[in-house]
Amino acid sequence: MKLFPLEKAFEMACQGVQAYGPFWEHVLGYWKANLEQPGKILFLKYEDLKEDVNFQVKRLAEFLGCPFSVGEESRGVIEEISKLCSFDHLKNLEVNKSGKHPIGHANSVYFRKGKVGDSRNYLTSSMSDHLEKLVEDKLNGSGLTFKKS
């Protein structure tokens, strides 16, 4: 996998030129599948996880048919799972700090800060505006929305 400068990668992503096709097609495909088969597809947004991770972990367990018992909840099992699956914990695992993907790039490229809206620290305001408009256009009429940061 070739890593491009941010400007080039941004341009390619906006044109839908990505390894597995346009981002919005994947998102919309899973969104529509979730609407059609809510018992088979669970659609989670990163923003919602960041907002209330414990609620989303509980929701995921229920979706998988393994809800937490009252005892597990009172013992803090949900919070412990949330901590083990947190961005900071995963980012600091040795495999993610020094490991490499089979095609050669460092696993660390998958981790930046894990902050909602952090893209504004990397994209220019015109890039952010363009991306916001593009996503809005591509998702138009689907009922799927993302919080604006």
pLDDT at 2: 63
pTM assigned to the model: 0.81
pLDDT at 143: 94
Q: What is the 3-state secondary structure (H, E, C) of 61-124?
A: HHHCCCCCCHHHHHCCHHHHHHHHCCHHHHHCCHHHHHCECCCCCEHHHHCCCCCCCHHHHCCC
Q: Is the pLDDT of residue 1 over 60?
A: no
Measure the CA–CA gap between 147 and 149, rounded to whole angstroms. 6
Q: Which uninterrupted H or E stretch holds 53?
A: helix 53-63
Contact criterion met (CB below 8 Å) for 68 and 54: no
Contact criterion met (CB below 8 Å) for 31 and 144: yes
**87-108 per-position pLDDT tens digit:** 999 999 999 999 998 888 899 9
- Percent of the chain at pLDDT exceeding 70: 97
**8-67 per-position pLDDT tens digit:** 989 998 998 887 788 889 999 999 999 999 999 999 999 999 999 999 999 999 999 999
Residue 17: what residue type? V
What is the residue-averaged pLDDT of the chain? Answer: 91
